[in-house]
Amino acid sequence: MEPLLVVKNVEKTYGKGANIFNALQHISFEIDHGEFVGVMGPSGAGKSTLLNVLATIDSPTSGDIFIGTDNIAKMDEEKLADFRRDHLGFIFQDYNLLDSLTVRENILLPLAIAKKKPAEIKKRVEAMAAAFGISNLLEKYPYQISGGQKQRTAASRALISNPKIIFADEPTGALDSKSATDLLESMSSLNEKHEATILMVTHDAYAASFCRRILFIKDGRLSKEIFRGTKTRQEFFQVILDELSQIGGETNDAI
């Protein structure tokens, strides 16, 4: 099977002349269907820039980004908007929920925009809510639920339309340890049971330990990658901590 995501020699520069800044340099890698990949590195290394470029939030200065057979680096804005809506899912640190809509309405929004049938929408919302443990919250509003519940609502919305790939930007950054664990276990379960493909940027070694592979970025370049393989999550957590201590990344000692 062909890789789902192919990144070829991607660069991102800001500024001009003497003030030019190379945020990403010669980035190339692949992600297969059903992988759960983390991106880590020191503050300012280029993690969020890379995610923004891959997620079509920003455009690369040069290089190619294939999702399936589509080169999103060469699409115009109109085609990108359609591609983003139809094939990508997003989980952000600040949830991005609409306060005027219930949890149910927030989750079903992508399906409503895609004009899916009501019966199908109801079935998929209830299945996704069950997967994230928020079935009893569907009629509540965002201001009535906790931060962890908001993030699980946001994750349900990101996954409801069966996107080709989910981009998660520091999804546990605003959560307490229990809420973070609940979210990460749900994401990991969806990855393992339903082969959801996830790319997650995180500074948190505990969050990264749920991934199957970690790409480390430093000074805008990929510096190393490590694989979990047959290691337990706790063993992989220690490997990640050791790697971060060498490259200067932030760590979180929760386990």
What CATH number corresponds to the domain at position 44? Answer: 3.40.50.300
| Number of independent structural domains in the chain | 1
Assess whether pLDDT exceeds 80 at residue 164: yes
User: Do the beta carbons of residue 63 and residue 142 sit within 8 Å?
Assistant: no
Query: Is pLDDT at 79 greater than 60 in this prediction?
Result: yes
Mean pLDDT of all residues belonging to the chain: 92
* 10 vs 27: CA distance, rounded Å: 5
Please, which pLDDT band fits residue 254 given cuts at 50, 70 and 90?
Answer: very low
Q: Is the pLDDT of residue 57 over 50?
A: yes
Number of neighbours of residue 23 by Cβ within 10 angstroms: 22
**Angle (deg, nearest 10), helices 177-194 and 118-131:** 120
In the numeric block, the tokens 């999804």 are attached to 171
Is residue 136 one of the residues assigned to a domain? no
Q: Is pLDDT above 50 for 132?
A: yes
Averaged pLDDT for residues 85-103: 91
| Tens digit of each residue's pLDDT (9 = 90 or more) over 167-187 | 999 999 889 999 999 999 999
Please give the residue range of the domain that contains residue 217.
Answer: 5-99+143-247
Please indicate, yes or no, if residue 112 is contained in any of the structural domains: no
Q: Is the confidence at residue 253, as pLDDT, over 50?
A: no
For position 101, what pLDDT does the model report? 96
The backbone region for 181, taken as left when phi is positive above 0, alpha when psi lies in -120 to 50, beta otherwise, is alpha
The answer to the question of residue 211 being in a domain is: yes
Query: How far is residue 68 CA from its own chain's centroid?
Result: 17
- In this predicted model, what pLDDT tens digit does every residue of 207-240 receive, in sequence order? 999 999 999 999 999 999 999 999 999 999 999 9
Residue 104 lies in a domain: no
Helices (H), the chain: 47-54, 77-87, 103-113, 118-131, 147-159, 177-194, 205-208, 233-247
Strands 62-67 and 36-40, bridge-based pairing: unpaired
pLDDT bucket at 194, cuts 50 / 70 / 90 = confident
Compute the average pLDDT of residues 191-220: 95
In a domain, 67, yes or no: yes
The pairing of strands 198-201 and 36-40 is parallel
Secondary structure (3-state) at 200: strand
* Cα gap 210→10, rounded to integer Å: 27
pLDDT > 50? residue 76: yes
- Asked if the model's pLDDT at residue 166 lies above 70, the reply is yes
Tell me the C-alpha distance between 76 and 195, whole Å. Answer: 30
Q: Please tell me the distance from the alpha carbon of residue 207 to that of residue 38, in angstroms, as a whole number.
A: 9
- Digit-coded pLDDT (tens) for 4-41: 999 999 999 999 888 899 999 999 999 999 999 999 99
Residue 75 lies in a domain: yes
Domain annotation covers residue 231: yes
117: in domain: no
Q: At 255, is the pLDDT very low, low, confident or very high (cuts 50, 70, 90)?
A: very low
